[in-house]
Chain A
Amino acid sequence: SAVISQKPSRDICQRGTSLTIQCQVDSQVTMMFWYRQQPGQSLTLIATANQGSEATYESGFVIDKFPISRPNLTFSTLTVSNMSPEDSSIYLCSATSGRGVLDIQYFGAGTRLSVL
């Protein structure tokens, strides 16, 4: 199993500012992901954080708005840039070994972001 620490757990930010969310895993993992969960909605994948290369973004999400770093196999950051009230959501990071059928996915506790 893996334990994921995510911080901050919550924040209230002003419009136009940026927030960086950190995700730390207690063991080396192959795959790390960043999801957004808007109120009453399902989890939506923002991007896959690749170690040693650029993140892979899903349709509707761009690097300028959500820059991601993955400097090693246990750590990743997501920045929400130039925030607007529409960015108010829960942001979750997850990690898995990437073994296909045997993939149990582990999640951080999430970051609850409110933008005023």
Chain B
Amino acid sequence: KQEVTQIPAALSVPEGENLVLNCSFTDSAIYNLQWFRQDPGKGLTSLLLIQSSQREQTSGRLNASLDKSSGRSTLYIAASQPGDSATYLCAVENRGSTLGRLYFGRGTQLTVWP
């Protein structure tokens, strides 16, 4: 069974810092890995999707990398802003499971203070 772990569980940084969120998974037979953002009272918003054949994806100040063989992904946030404060979730879609079924980590709660 796929297990997804995220560290740290919480992170508090001053505005402007570059930061890294970590995600690890136990089964490397994946279709893709997604990073989501969850704001209080709102649903999940997909930030980046990395296909299993890719090494990284970038969107604005966000960069996500994937090392499938070691079962790891990182989300790099450059020049953090207070508006980045949210919970960040990592999820993988397994080969051999129902298409679209995601396995989630518990998330990293990020606070960026001015």
Contact of A101 with B53 in the complex, beta carbons under 8 Å: yes
Number of inter-chain CB pairs below 8 Å:
80
Q: Which chain B positions have C-beta within 8 A of A73?
A: none
- Residue ID in chain A nearest B3 by CB atoms: A42
CA distance A25 to B66 in the complex (A): 30
Please list the residues of chain A having a beta carbon within 8 angstroms of any beta carbon in chain B. Answer: 4, 6, 9, 30-31, 33, 40-43, 45, 48, 56, 92, 94, 96-110, 112
By secondary structure, the A interface counts as: mixed
Q: Which chain A positions have C-beta within 8 A of B98?
A: 31, 48, 56
Contact of A42 with B107 in the complex, beta carbons under 8 Å: yes
Contact of B43 with A4 in the complex, beta carbons under 8 Å: yes
Contact of B105 with A102 in the complex, beta carbons under 8 Å: no
CA distance A108 to B93 in the complex (A): 19
The contact of A109 among B41, B52, B53, B107, by CB within 8 Å, is: B41
